[in-house]
Chain A
Amino acid sequence: MIKTESLTKQYGSLTAVDAVSFTVSPGEVLGFLGPNGAGKTTTMRMLAGFINATSGRASICGHDVDSDSLAARACLGYLPEGAPAYGEMTVRDFLDFIAALRQLHGSARSRIDAVIERLQLQSVLNQTIETLSKGFRRRVGLAQAIMHDPPVLILDEPTDGLDPNQKHEVRTLINDMAGDKTVIISTHILEEVDAVCTRAIIIAHGRIVADDTPQGLAARAPSGRLDDVFRTITA
Chain B
Amino acid sequence: MRNVGIIMRRELASYFATPLAYIFLLIFLVLANLFTFYLGEFFERGQADLNPFFTYHPWLFLFLIPAVSMRLWADERRTGSIELLMTLPVTLWQAVVGKFLAAWLFTVLALVLTFPLWITVNYLGSPDNGAILAAYIGSMLLAAGFLSIGSLASALTRNPVVAFIVGIAACFVFLVAGFPLVLDAFRGWAPQFVVDGIGALGFLTHYEAISKGVIDIRDLIYFALLITWFLLATAVVLDVRKSE
- B10 within 8 Å of A (CB atoms): yes
Known: A84-B81, A85-B81, A97-B10. A76 touches B18 (CB 8 A): no
Report the interface size for chain A: residues with CB under 8 A from the other chain.
28
**Once the chains are docked, how many angstroms separate the CA of A87 from the CA of B76?**
11
- The reply to whether B87 and A80 form a contact with Cβ atoms under 8 Å apart is yes
* Highest count of chain A CB atoms <10 Å: which of B7, B81, B88, B91: B88
- B90 within 8 Å of A (CB atoms): yes
In the complex, the chain B residue whose C-beta lies closest to that of A100 is B6
Residue-wise interface mask of B (84-103) relative to A, using a CB-CB cutoff of 8 A (1 in contact, 0 not): 10111111000000000000
Within 8 A of B (CB), among A199-220: none
- The reply to whether A50 and B10 form a contact with Cβ atoms under 8 Å apart is no
- B83 within 8 Å of A (CB atoms): yes
CB distance from B24 to the nearest CB of A (A): 16
**Once the chains are docked, how many angstroms separate the CA of A97 from the CA of B84?**
12
In the complex, the chain A residue whose C-beta lies closest to that of B10 is A97
**Once the chains are docked, how many angstroms separate the CA of A51 from the CA of B86?**
10
Residue-wise interface mask of B (169-192) relative to A, using a CB-CB cutoff of 8 A (1 in contact, 0 not): 000000000000000000000000
**Once the chains are docked, how many angstroms separate the CA of A76 from the CA of B18?**
32
**Once the chains are docked, how many angstroms separate the CA of A82 from the CA of B84?**
11
- The reply to whether A49 and B86 form a contact with Cβ atoms under 8 Å apart is yes
* A74 partner, pick from B13, B84, B89, beta carbons under 8 A: B89
18 A–B contacts from the bound complex (CB under 8 Å): A45-B243, A50-B86, A50-B242, A70-B89, A74-B89, A80-B83, A80-B87, A82-B80, A86-B10, A86-B79, A89-B13, A89-B17, A93-B13, A101-B3, A101-B6, A101-B90, A102-B89, A103-B89
Query: Which A residues are closer than 8 A to B by beta carbons?
Result: 45, 48-51, 70, 73-74, 76, 78, 80-82, 84-89, 93, 97-98, 100-103, 128, 144
